[in-house]
């Protein structure tokens, strides 16, 4: 099935530090990709929100784009990074260390950047995590993090 690709050593990114996902993390990344597709199919606000981002693509459309690559970054202390309106995503060892829901939230956040969402101080990329059902509106309105959701109002990018 065509769709965003996980770099398992079959892709060389033009971005320095963007490497193949280690074997031990590939299962987590596959889970995150599968879950993201489930979200796109089952949570209406996900596609609706992604349509509002600068490049106007839906989450389903992005997840079906086989020119988008998800890589690994072994040294970055941040959770992830992406080219704005580009094709390359890196998810870091930091996100994997926290767990698969953080990997999934980071994938959604970075896909929002791929869809044109600007970086800080703009908050639209992290808002995508809420619109995909991984946070509470109360966290958004109060700015207080609920540690039981992957969304965190203190996260920028």
Partner 1 sequence: MRRRSWYQLVILTAFLSGAPVAGFACRCLEDISPAAAYKYADAVVQGQVQTVRGDINAREGSTASVAVSKAWKMSVSGEIEVLTSKSCAFAFEAETEYLLYLQILPNGTGYTTRRCAGNKPIAEARKALDWLARRGAPATLQRAAP
Q: Binding-site residue total for partner 1 (CB under 8 A)? A: 29
Centre a 10 Å sphere on the Cβ of residue 13 and count the other Cβ atoms it contains: 19
Rounded to whole angstroms, the Cα distance separating 91 from 96 reads: 8
CA distances from 91 to 10, 25, 29, 106 (A): 17, 11, 9, 7
5 interacts with partner 1 by CB under 8 A: no
Give the nearest distance from C-beta 1 to partner 1 in angstroms: 26
Which tokens belong to 138? 């109360």
Structure tokens at 19: 């490497």
Q: In whole angstroms, how close is the CB of 113 to partner 1 at the nearest point?
A: 4
Phi–psi pair at 134, nearest 5 degrees: -115, 25
Query: How far apart are CB 151 and partner 1 at their closest, in Å?
Result: 11
Q: Fill in the DSSP letter of residue 54.
A: T
Cis peptide before 26 (omega within 30 of 0): no
Residues 94-133 that bind partner 1 (CB under 8 A): 95, 105-106, 109-110, 113, 116-120, 125-126
For residue 143, the 8-state DSSP code is: -
CA distance 49 to 23: 33
Question: Which residue in the set 3, 22, 64, 86 belongs to the binding site for partner 1 (CB under 8 A)?
Answer: 86
**147 touches partner 1 (CB under 8 A):** no
Q: How far is the CB of 143 from partner 1 (least distance, A)?
A: 10
- Residue 22, interface with partner 1 (CB under 8 A)? no
Out of 7, 28, 36, 80, point to the residue binding partner 1 (CB under 8 A).
Answer: 80
Residues that bind partner 1 (CB under 8 A): 76-86, 95, 105-106, 109-110, 113, 116-120, 125-126, 152, 154-157
């Amino acid at each position: 099935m065509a769709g965003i690709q996980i770099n398992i050593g079959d892709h060389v990114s033009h971005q320095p530090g963007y490497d193949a996902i280690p074997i031990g993390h590939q299962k987590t990344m596959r889970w995150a990709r599968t879950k993201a597709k489930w979200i796109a199919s089952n949570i209406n606000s996900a596609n609706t929100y992604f349509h509002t981002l600068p490049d106007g693509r839906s989450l389903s459309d992005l997840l079906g784009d086989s020119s988008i690559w998800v890589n690994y970054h072994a040294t970055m202390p941040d959770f992830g990074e992406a080219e704005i309106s580009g094709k390359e995503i890196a998810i870091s060892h930091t996100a994997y260390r926290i767990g698969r829901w953080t990997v999934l939230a980071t994938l959604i956040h970075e896909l929002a950047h791929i869809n044109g969402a600007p970086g800080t101080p703009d908050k639209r990329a992290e808002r995508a995590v809420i619109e995909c059902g991984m946070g509470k509106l109360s966290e958004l309105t109060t700015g207080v993090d609920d540690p039981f959701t992957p969304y965190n109002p203190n996260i920028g990018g």
